[in-house]
Amino acid sequence: MIKISFKLLILFFFISAYIVADDFKTKAKFKPQYPKSAYAKRISGYAIVEFVINEKGRTEQNSVMTSKCFNLIDKNGDYFWYDFEKKKISAAYDCKYFDFKALKASKQLIYENYLSKPIEHSYKYNFKHWSLIKVDSVIDLETGDFVLK
């Protein structure tokens, strides 16, 4: 006969609760099409879509949380907009170029839902144009200068 102490049983229960992997796993992802209007204007950007993963692993209640447009990225991964006419650098700005394509792609996501109950989640879709300017320094928005760090 095997004897298991009560303390050992409780310890095993708590450890097993932490060993469990994520509540869901991606089964299928689809890359969104680059919007033609943004491509023609050489605009890069991203859109963050929030949704609910249902019991069957499909997404529901999809909506765009935020989306930004940029054409410049510094070495820290911060996004900026460079106006070539005014020769001025500003922060990435809110835009709607990527919303539709990101929403469409998010509706095609398929997950494996381990909890068998709805799970709230978000996903970031990146749209990087080939003309995206990458700099090896950090940009100071107050002065508009490139700062080496």
Instruction: Convert the pLDDT of each residue in 22-42 to its tens digit.
Output: 788 889 998 999 999 999 999
Indicate the average pLDDT of the chain.
85
User: Is pLDDT at 12 greater than 50 in this prediction?
Assistant: no
Are the C-beta atoms of 52 and 119 separated by less than 8 Å? Answer: yes
- Helix/strand/coil (H/E/C) assignment for every residue in the chain: CCCCCHHHHHHHHHHHHHHCCCCEEEEECCCCCCCHHHHHCCCEEEEEEEEEECCCCEEEEEEEEEEEEECEECCCCCEEEEECCCCEEEECEECCCCHHHHHHHHCCCEEEECCCCCEEEEEEEEECCCCCEECCCEEECCCCEEECC
User: Is pLDDT at 144 greater than 80 in this prediction?
Assistant: no
Q: Count of residues for the chain?
A: 149
Give the pLDDT mean for 125-137. 90
Confidence of residue 50 (pLDDT cuts 50, 70, 90): very high
Say if strands 24-28 and 44-53 run parallel, antiparallel, or are unpaired. unpaired
Q: What percent of the chain has pLDDT over 90?
A: 58
User: Is pLDDT at 148 greater than 60 in this prediction?
Assistant: no
d(C-alpha 16, C-alpha 122), whole Å: 27
Which pLDDT value is given to residue 98?
Answer: 97
Which pLDDT value is given to residue 32?
Answer: 94
CATH of 22-147, one of 3.30.2420.10, 3.40.50.720, 3.30.365.10, 1.10.150.110: 3.30.2420.10
Determine which helix (DSSP H) or strand (DSSP E) holds 100, and give its type and residue range.
Answer: helix 99-106
